[in-house]
Amino acid sequence: MLNILVVDDSLAIRIKMKNFLKKLGHSIAGEAKDGEEAIELYKELTPDLITMDISMPVMNGVDSLKEIMKISSLGANIIMITANGQDGIVKEALLAGAKGYILKPVSEEKLQDSIGRIFSEYFCEDRNVLEECDLGNTFG
């Protein structure tokens, strides 16, 4: 069971995320509505994992990620939540140290898959997430 910090500027999304994560058997360490708050809460709570939305006011997901990576000694585990068409930003996040990304709309399966790739004990093999990712991708 992981302690997860949920970061998103939309309350509805945060509720949805929390539900999914609870269903997967993890606990919610906290929630933040922008990048700055995320950094503060990270320092305070040191969660096992952060789900970070990209577009947020005050400070966006990528900047927040970079800050957190700086202050974390072992390397924080951050999964970016991205909308379609943000490929360049996702790449930047990955190169800055993000451990995964999930395309909106978020689903339980997508979360499980991303978490599984970081924490191998949660990895579920009989999942064909690929299909879903396909449809969300650019079509030539």
Partner 1 sequence: MMNKDEKKILNLIRILPLFIIFFSIIITYIIITNNNLKFETEINKLQSDLINTHKEFIKKEVERVYNFLNNEEKFTIETLKNSIKLRVYEAHAIATSIYNHNREKEPSEVRKLIKNALRDIRFNNNRGYYFIYETSGINILHPLLPHIEGKNLLSFKDLKGSPIIQQSISIVRTKGEGFLRWWFKKSKDKKTEYEKIGFLKYFEPYDWFMGTGEYVEDVKNDIQKRVLSTINKTKYDKNGYIFILDEKGMALSHINKKLIGRNIINLKNKNNVMIAKELLKISKKGEGFFQYMFAEPSTGNDAMKTTFVKGFEKWGWTIGMGIYNTDIQLIIKNKRKSLEEENEDQMISIFTTSIILTIILLIFSVIFSNIIKEKFRKYKTMVDKKTKELKELNKSLEQKVQKRTNDLTQKTNKVTDLLNNAAQGFLSFGKDFLIDDEYSVECENLLGKDLKDKDITQLVFNKKTDKINFFKETMLDALNEKNELTSSLLLSLLPNQLIINKRAVHIDYKMLSNNKFMMILTNITEKKKLQIKIKKEQVTLKMIVAIVSDSVQFYETKENFEDFCKDSLLFINQKHSPKENANTLHALLHTFKGLFAQLYMQNTVKRLHHFESKILELIAQDKNNNELKNLIESFDLIQSIHEDLEVVTQTLGEKFLSEHNHIHIDEDLLNKLEDKINIFCTQNSEQKQECESILFDIKRIKNKSLHYYLSIYPKLCQQLCFSLNKSIDPFEIIGENNTFVPEGFKPFINSLVHVFRNSCDHGIELKADRLSLNKNETGNICCEFKTVNNRLYIEISDDGKGIDINLLKNKIVENRLNTEEKVNVLSKEEILEYIFDNNLSTNESINHVSGRGIGLASVKIELDKLQGEVEIKTQMNKGTTFIFMLPLKNN
Residues that bind partner 1 (CB under 8 A): 87-88, 90-91, 94-95, 97-101, 117-118, 130, 133-134, 137-140
Residue 130 CB burial class (10 angstroms; 0-12, 13-18, ≥19): exposed
> In this complex, which beta carbon is closest to partner 1, that of residue 16 or of residue 97?
97
> In this complex, which beta carbon is closest to partner 1, that of residue 23 or of residue 91?
91
Angle between helices 87-96 and 61-71 (to 10 degrees): 0
Tell the smallest beta-carbon distance from residue 74 to partner 1 (Å): 14
Please give the C-alpha separations between residue 73 and each of 26, 76, 104, 114, in angstroms, as whole numbers: 23, 8, 30, 22
Tell the smallest beta-carbon distance from residue 46 to partner 1 (Å): 21
Between CA 70 and CA 16 the distance in angstroms is 29
The neighbouring-strand residues paired with 30 are 5
Tell the smallest beta-carbon distance from residue 77 to partner 1 (Å): 10
> In this complex, which beta carbon is closest to partner 1, that of residue 1 or of residue 138?
138
Tell the smallest beta-carbon distance from residue 137 to partner 1 (Å): 5
